């Protein structure tokens, strides 16, 4: 698998089993969604209790990308795994508010805030 196409997964806490996935600059679905789902699956195989999606590098997200996040949240909820977003850029926050997804997705200002909540 090409490193440019795969997601960076970092396991933040051994005892709480929290993983962080750094999202790419463009979240557009398609092949990107397949790679993201593979990263989510790797986290599930490690029996994580929570996955933090770090959006600090996201510059562009479309409706398919938003659907990818909502679908992930739904899938993980069925597996009793928390899914939260952190470091959401203002442009993306605005889009989440306009689409009312900020009421569905759990959003935190930073990783530390998210970790203290999902533990």
- For the chain, the domains span 3-118
pLDDT tens per residue, range 21-52: 999 999 998 888 999 999 999 999 999 999 99
- CA–CA gap between residue 119 and residue 114 (Å, rounded): 9
Q: What's the CATH fold of domain 3-118?
A: Transcription Regulator spoIIAA (3.30.750)
The ranges of the chain with pLDDT < 50 are 1-4
Q: What is the pTM of this model?
A: 0.91
Burial class (CB within 10 angstroms; exposed 0-12, middle 13-18, buried 19+) of 38? middle
Concatenating the DSSP letter of every residue in 38-104 gives: HHHHHHHHTT-SEEEEE-TT--EE-HHHHHHHHHHHHHHHHTT-EEEEES--HHHHHHHHHTTGGGT
């Amino acid at each position: 698998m090409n490193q440019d196409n795969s997601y960076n997964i970092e396991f933040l806490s051994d005892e709480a089993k929290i993983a962080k996935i750094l999202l790419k600059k463009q979240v557009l679905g398609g092949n990107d969604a397949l790679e993201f789902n593979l990263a989510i699956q790797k986290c599930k195989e490690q029996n994580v209790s929570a996955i933090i999606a770090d959006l600090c590098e996201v510059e562009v997200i479309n409706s398919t990308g938003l659907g990818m996040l909502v679908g992930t949240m739904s899938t993980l909820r069925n597996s009793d795994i928390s899914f939260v977003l952190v470091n959401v850029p203002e442009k993306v926050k605005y889009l989440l508010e306009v689409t009312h997804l900020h009421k569905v997705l759990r959003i935190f200002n930073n990783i530390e805030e998210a970790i203290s909540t999902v533990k």
